[in-house]
């Protein structure tokens, strides 16, 4: 699972500004972008835009797949035949 949230750095600890969906003592990977650096913020915004566009395209692909009987939906039927 991936989440994005803002945090503040205080006394050597990053503290989220809002609650996050993590279990206690869960190990995570962290990428830090300063919200005050306009160049880094612009890069992060562009990356977010690209990811959202990609995700949207991926979600719409199932609507474009022709129902020709050879899609992954028909995997078992193609391999094993019609159920008796």
Separation CA 31–CA 14 (nearest Å): 12
The whole-model pTM stands at 0.38
pLDDT in tens, 30-65: 888 777 767 777 888 888 899 999 988 888 776 666
Q: Which residue has the tokens 């750095």?
A: 9
Separation CA 41–CA 36 (nearest Å): 7
Neighbours of 41 (CB within 10 A): 13
The 3-state secondary structure of 47-65 reads: HHHHHHHHHHHHHHHHHHC
H or E, element range at 42:
helix 38-64
């Amino acid at each position: 699972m991936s989440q994005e949230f803002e945090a503040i750095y205080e006394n050597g600890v990053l503290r989220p500004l809002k609650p996050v969906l993590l279990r206690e003592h869960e190990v995570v990977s962290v990428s830090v972008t300063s919200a005050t650096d306009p160049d880094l913020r612009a890069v992060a915004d562009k990356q977010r835009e690209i990811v959202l566009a990609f995700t949207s395209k991926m979600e719409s692909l199932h609507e474009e797949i022709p129902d020709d009987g050879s899609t992954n939906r028909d995997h078992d039927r193609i391999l094993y035949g019609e159920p008796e």
